[in-house]
Amino acid sequence: MALAARGLMNKQIAGEVGTSEITVKIHRGNAMRKMQAKTFADLVRMAEALGLAGVDGRG
């Protein structure tokens, strides 16, 4: 989440964590669906409000 919140593209995130771009896309979609976020920006705001590690630079 933190990498995506910093603006990295799916391909860049995949390279950073050692997985495929499709896996990153699936995880992002699953998170958005579970959190009922309409946009990625909504998802980031929700993650920040919940204090998820890494989103605000503290974790």
What are 1-53's pLDDT values in tens digits?
Answer: 888 888 899 999 999 999 999 999 999 999 999 999 999 999 989 988 988 85
Judged against a pLDDT cut of 50, whether residue 59 lies above it is answered with no
pLDDT at 1: 82
d(CA 45, CA 34): 14
Which domains does the chain carry? 2-50 (1.10.10.10)
pTM: 0.77
Judged against a pLDDT cut of 50, whether residue 55 lies above it is answered with yes
- CB crowding 27-48: b at 16 or more within 10 Å, else e: bbeebbeeeebeeeeebbebbe
